[in-house]
Amino acid sequence: MNMLTVLAIILFILMVLVGGRKGARSFIALFFNLGVLLLTTLFMTDPNVNPIYLTIIACALISCINLFYINKVNSKTKVAFVSTVITITILIIFINLITKNAMIQGFGEEQVDELNIFSLYIGVDFVKIGTSMIIMSTIGAIVDVAISITSPMREIFHHHPSISRKKLFTSGINIGRDILGSNTNTLFFAFFGGYLGLLIWFRDMTYSFGEVVNSKIFTSEMMIILCAGIGIALIIPVASWLNAYYLVRRREKSKE
């Protein structure tokens, strides 16, 4: 038994002990998400397939797995799913424009030595691949924030059924403000943790600060963090408004 298996078993035991059945479903969902990502990567190598359309389908599947499979189908997951779709749609348009203007698609000069033996004429639009990569990097954080807002808002509405739509929306925004900073910092430190070796390499190559900042690898990763932060900030008011509208509307219909 290797260490990877040991760590997976420890993770499964802890998730079951803490989360019960939901924790077990969360562990299984990891493999479902991995399968979606592997299939998406496989189909992206086909020049006849549009990577952005494929990314939208993959994001929808990942959202369904993380929301409906783990938390089941209810009002909070439905609103979180719709909020995620709206936010991802806006981000795809925005990120596609940013990727074209920033020209971060393709490979950096630090990766040229490893790619010399391969042909780069593969017929794939690297602008769309770059857009898809950024979107796939943000979907997890966006879904997490969406359910983190809709779930406590439903609890607030349950304990205060006469609350107004405006106050409920304000409560959602206040919840989102507490989440915003911690999630953005999580993305930031995840970058430095994952690319610490790259930063040390830059140091060994005596890169100046300007050369590091203008490196394509560094810039593309920073853009992922910034776009993910934009997605997190954007989904907070979207999820808060949709959830407040849905819950109050359902209350009004029940009175009628």
- Specify the DSSP element, H or E, that contains 178: helix 165-194
Q: Distance between CA atoms of 4 and 196, rounded to whole angstroms?
A: 22
Q: Distance between CA atoms of 65 and 45, rounded to whole angstroms?
A: 24
Contacts of residue 253, defined as CB under 8 A and 6 or more positions apart, other chains included, come to none
Q: Are 87 and 235 in contact (CB under 8 A)?
A: yes
Structure tokens at 223: 């853009």
- The pTM (predicted TM-score) of the whole model is 0.79
The answer to whether position 211 is within a domain reads yes
The answer to whether position 62 is within a domain reads no
The answer to whether position 241 is within a domain reads yes
pLDDT of residue 30: 87
pLDDT of residue 161: 83
Structure tokens at 120: 């780069």
Structural domain count of the chain: 1
C-alpha 198 chain-centroid distance = 23
The answer to whether position 7 is within a domain reads no
The answer to whether position 231 is within a domain reads yes
The answer to whether position 30 is within a domain reads no
- Domain holding 125, by residue range, is 73-255
Give me the amino acid identity at 138.
Answer: T
The pLDDT tens digits along the chain (256 residues) read: 578 888 888 888 998 898 888 888 888 888 888 888 888 888 877 778 888 888 888 888 888 888 888 888 888 888 999 999 888 888 888 877 777 776 665 555 555 555 555 656 666 667 777 777 778 878 888 888 888 899 888 888 888 888 888 888 998 898 888 888 777 777 777 766 666 777 777 777 777 777 777 777 777 777 777 888 888 889 999 999 999 988 888 888 777 6
Angle between helices 126-159 and 216-255 (to 10 degrees): 30
